[in-house]
Amino acid sequence: MSRADERTVPSFAKVNLGLEVLGTRSDGYHELRTLFQTVDLRDDITLRPRRQGITIECSHPGVPQDESNLAWRAAESLRRHAKVTRGVAIRIEKRIPVAGGLGGGSSNAAAVLMALNRLWRLDLDPDVLNRLGRRLGADVPYFLVGGTALGLGRGDEVYPLRTQVKAHLVLVDPGRPVSTAAVFSRVDAGLTPRENSYTIFRFVSRDLEGATAFRLLSNDLEQAALEEAPDLARTVGRIRGTLVREGALLAALSGSGSSYFGVFDDPQRARRAHAALASQGFAVHRCRTLSLDQYRKAWARALGYISVRSWR
Ligand code: ATP
């Protein structure tokens, strides 16, 4: 097959602007309420048609290059569902920090579902993709939507918000992975029956107006993640201090960590925070929020025109 058959699609990262753990469900998962936000930090996924079988390659050595890769599993689930006999070669150019709470694997899975649905001309409904996505991971349905969205249930019931957050972000990867399962078991150990907090609802009902609303938000997993990794707690203290000093409206852990981020309305402040953290030796990314509309447009651009015969 020639390179002309290849198609490269974007796979964006997310942060959780807020995350509330409401309790444990009868199926063992946690009942969450979270505010998702896509950012323009992205992996690139290149898809090439093959006569049969799925192959996977990734530029990051820490990501599995076999059937356990979420992008591989996404392609396989679509093939099974739609009884496709053709194959695909998948290459992932990783830029999203791995195991950092930025949803890289889930985003890759959603990107493969959306791209192959189009390239294989399956024309499956969004709710079919949603169903396949849910089985791959709780964050996958969100990446089928993107932008600023409320996640309920396991985080897999996704409601895009009318008003989309527009901000500059500084993401810091402390380079110290934390196990998501270990963080949740710590939360469970400390989860006494309590009043549910309503900060995300209050944030949403303020219609995202003004910077002060960000003060309402926090991540219920942060304390547990920092208890799980006391060395990380010290590092996070420094990161947080710098972000706040430089004027972040919100500084928080994303998901179960260990990426930490600051939200800024002023690009100059974001630039200064980025420079200060980079000079302290941290791996830092400066990025912007991506609205629902921008997310859709990026996808429309990537998959807009397909004439290549070998995908038929
Ligand atoms: P989660 O909170 O769901 O564990 P995360 O956002 O913290 O996810 P990811 O970058 O998705 O972090 O990686 C989680 C784990 O998933 C990694 O340790 C990696 O081994 C595995 N994985 C499988 N497929 C992928 C993929 N395509 N990209 C990244 N990681 C993947």
The answer to whether 259 and 173 have CB atoms below 8 angstroms apart is: yes
Tens digit of pLDDT for each residue in 129-171?
999 999 999 999 999 999 999 999 999 999 999 889 999 999 9
Residue 253 and residue 15: Cα distance in Å, rounded? 8
Q: Is the CB of 69 under 6 A from ligand 1?
A: yes
Q: What is the distance in A from the centroid of ligand 1 to the CA of 179?
A: 11
Instruction: Over range 273-281, report the average pLDDT.
Output: 97
List pLDDT tens digits, range 75-107: 999 999 999 999 999 999 999 999 889 999 999
Question: Can you tell me whether residue 173 is helix, strand or coil?
Answer: strand
257: Cβ below 6 Å to ligand 1?
no
Q: How far apart are CA 20 and CA 289, in angstroms?
A: 21
Q: Which residues form the catalytic set?
A: 14, 139
pTM for the full predicted model: 0.94
Tell me if 141 CB under 6 Å of ligand 1: no
Q: Is a pLDDT exceeding 60 seen at residue 195?
A: no
Nearest CA, atom 17, ligand 1: 99
Higher model confidence: residue 5 or residue 248?
Answer: 248
Q: Which atom of ligand 1 is nearest to the CA of 100?
A: 7
User: Is 147 touching ligand 1 by the criterion CB < 6 Å?
Assistant: no
Residue ID of nearest Cα to ligand 1 atom 9: 99
> Would you place residue 121 in the very low, low, confident or very high pLDDT band (cuts 50, 70, 90)?
very high
